[in-house]
Amino acid sequence: MSIFEKLSEKGHEQIVFCNDPDSGLKAIIAIHDTNIGPALGGCRMWNYKSEKDALRDVLRLSRGMSYKAAVAGLNLGGGKSVIIGDAKKEKSELLFRSFGRFVEGLAGRYITAEDVGTSVKDMEWVRMETQYVTGISRALGGSGDPSPVTAFGTYMGMKAAVKYKLGLDNLSGLKVSVQGVGHVGYYLCKHLYEEGAEIFATDIDQDTLQKVVKEFGVKEVAIDEIYGLDVDIYAPCALGATINDDTIPKLKAVIIAGAANNQLESESKHGQAIRKSGILYAPDYAINAGGLINVANEMERYNRERAFMQAEGIYDTLMTIFSLADKEDVPTNVAADQVAMQRVESLSKLKSIFLTRKNPMIKRDAW
Ligand code: NAD
């Protein structure tokens, strides 16, 4: 398939190949859609086996960002970038500043942030060359760690699922299993504890696990035990692809609501399978959008209170998705895509107004 055919296949607007022999930078920036705003998405540094793999990944991830931003109600499009290289050995100030210059060259069509393999520190180097970067530390006026906002949004999404599936207004007395109690899982346990849920958790890191056991009375369970627990809600907050052929038959939970990315091993197959088994699934990119909401807030002078307020909206977003799924008789992940696509399509006519009014960072003449 030619590059242009590849772009057209899933509606991508632009790919930028960045090559700088002086710094060793080999990067690809993919802009999927800018109809409702500039394309925001993290910069991943990964030792890809081939350039083809890197291109495939950046195209897939940038498209995912369009859906995530649209469903979260943000005035942003979808983009992503990948730097080809070993994040443990090949990082340097020169590399990230060089990358920053390429981002600056796009004049705001793409806004970068940290992602797998990159850190806040790397983004601070990027920031020396471009203003189009988010996820900067609080000390430098940025939004800092997004995990508390992600966890709060996940908690709100879980409450929506409980209301929709069980008709309950709170989580008191419900049993919740949390897989992974790292950055997001920790704060999620805190919300669950404060609302009186009974929490079961697992983590491969014993220190991390013991922290929530001590602070929130969490009951620890073994790694493999998490799927078959007799609980109401399963909250995946560690890895992707945990909803698959092996785990679905084991699940006793009637709700899946967690922060992990890419929870369904196969979007089409396993979305359908969990619907069939009567489990209500809160689509990952809709329930974990708090992190994106947090960095998006950085673009309009970061305000933590506003970020939390917007993350509260995840409750209503999920209610809309659940109702649509039932109305159309489709899996909730399909309904989420429909909500996202519909928003992009209906707002695409407002392109110019959104770019100039809602995003002060974007200069009108840059477009
Ligand atoms: P994290 O690395 O801080 O926490 C993940 C935890 O999972 C760690 O404590 C790790 O030890 C544990 N873990 C790893 N493998 C495990 C296994 N097999 N079983 C049980 N526990 C295991 O990451 P995080 O920032 O808390 O993010 C958690 C998930 O949420 C990730 O999938 C991430 O992509 C997603 N997410 C995070 C944010 C955010 O704001 N941090 C935003 C959106 C999505």
Same domain, 253 and 124: no
How far is the centre of ligand 1, averaged over its atoms, from the C-alpha of 5 (Å)?
Answer: 35
User: Is the CA virtual torsion 70, 76, 78, 82 positive or negative?
Assistant: negative
- The pLDDT tens digits for 83-93 are 999 999 999 99
Ligand 1 atom with the smallest distance to the CA of 184 is 26
| Distance (Å, whole) CA 117 – CA 352 | 34
Same domain, 167 and 95: no
What amino acid occupies position 143? S
pLDDT for the residue numbered 352: 52
Ligand 1 atom with the smallest distance to the CA of 179 is 20
Same domain, 128 and 245: no
Q: Is residue 349 part of a domain?
A: no
How far is the centre of ligand 1, averaged over its atoms, from the C-alpha of 241 (Å)?
Answer: 13
Residue of minimum CA distance from atom 8 in ligand 1: 182
Q: Is residue 266 part of a domain?
A: yes
How far is the centre of ligand 1, averaged over its atoms, from the C-alpha of 181 (Å)?
Answer: 7
101, 218, 287 from 232: Cα distances, Å = 49, 15, 18
Same domain, 54 and 169: no
Given a cut of 90, is residue 358 above it in pLDDT?
A: no
Same domain, 152 and 269: yes
Ligand 1 atom with the smallest distance to the CA of 208 is 9
Range of the domain at 29: 3-66+76-140
| Distance (Å, whole) CA 319 – CA 322 | 5
What is the tally of structural domains in the chain? 2
Query: Which residue among 237, 292, 308 has the greatest number of ligand 1 atoms within 8 angstroms of its CB, and so is best to mutate?
Result: 237
Residue of minimum CA distance from atom 33 in ligand 1: 260
Q: Taking the complete model, does pTM exceed 0.85, yes or no? A: yes
Confidence of residue 347 (pLDDT cuts 50, 70, 90): confident
pLDDT for the residue numbered 41: 95
Q: Is residue 29 part of a domain?
A: yes
Given a cut of 90, is residue 359 above it in pLDDT?
A: no
Confidence of residue 124 (pLDDT cuts 50, 70, 90): very high
Q: Is residue 212 part of a domain?
A: yes
Query: Is residue 211 annotated as part of the catalytic site, yes or no?
Result: no
With H, G, I as helix, E, B as strand and everything else as coil, classify residue 150.
helix
**Structure token pair of residue 3:** 């590059």
Q: What is the percentage of the chain residues whose pLDDT exceeds 90?
A: 82
Select from 106, 124, 140 the last residue of a domain. 140
Same domain, 152 and 280: yes
Radius of gyration of the chain (CA): 20
Given a cut of 60, is residue 134 above it in pLDDT?
A: yes
Mean pLDDT for 69-90 is 95
Ligand 1 atom with the smallest distance to the CA of 258 is 30
- The pLDDT tens digits for 237-267 are 998 999 999 999 999 999 999 999 999 999 9
pLDDT for the residue numbered 80: 97
Given a cut of 50, is residue 235 above it in pLDDT?
A: yes
Mean pLDDT for 135-142 is 83
| Distance (Å, whole) CA 12 – CA 33 | 6
Pairing of strands 110-111, 39-40: parallel
Residue of minimum CA distance from atom 40 in ligand 1: 147
Given a cut of 70, is residue 8 above it in pLDDT?
A: yes
CATH of the domain at 177: 3.40.50.720
Same domain, 241 and 304: yes
What are φ and ψ of residue 133, in 5° steps? -145, 140
CATH of the domain at 40: 3.40.50.10860
Same domain, 228 and 291: yes
Q: Is residue 167 part of a domain?
A: yes
How far is the centre of ligand 1, averaged over its atoms, from the C-alpha of 147 (Å)?
Answer: 10
Given a cut of 50, is residue 330 above it in pLDDT?
A: yes
Same domain, 26 and 165: no
| Distance (Å, whole) CA 319 – CA 190 | 23
- The pLDDT tens digits for 284-329 are 999 999 999 998 988 878 889 999 999 999 999 999 999 999 999 9
pLDDT for the residue numbered 355: 52
Same domain, 108 and 162: no
Q: Is residue 114 part of a domain?
A: yes
pLDDT for the residue numbered 356: 47
For the ranges 140-149, 271-280, 310-319, 327-336, the lowest mean pLDDT is seen at 140-149
> DSSP assignment of 260-329, as one string?
-SS-BSSHHHHHHHHHHTT-EE--HHHHTTHHHHHHHHGGGS--HHHHHHHHHTHHHHHHHHHHHHHHHT
230 burial level (CB within 10 Å; 0-12, 13-18, 19+): exposed
Q: Is residue 9 part of a domain?
A: yes
Select from 90, 113, 140 the last residue of a domain. 140
Mean pLDDT for 166-187 is 97
How far is the centre of ligand 1, averaged over its atoms, from the C-alpha of 202 (Å)?
Answer: 12
pLDDT for the residue numbered 276: 97
Among candidate residues 80, 91, 159, 175, the one labeled active-site is 80
Q: Is residue 317 part of a domain?
A: yes
Same domain, 163 and 131: no
With H, G, I as helix, E, B as strand and everything else as coil, classify residue 100.
helix
Same domain, 161 and 125: no
Confidence of residue 353 (pLDDT cuts 50, 70, 90): low
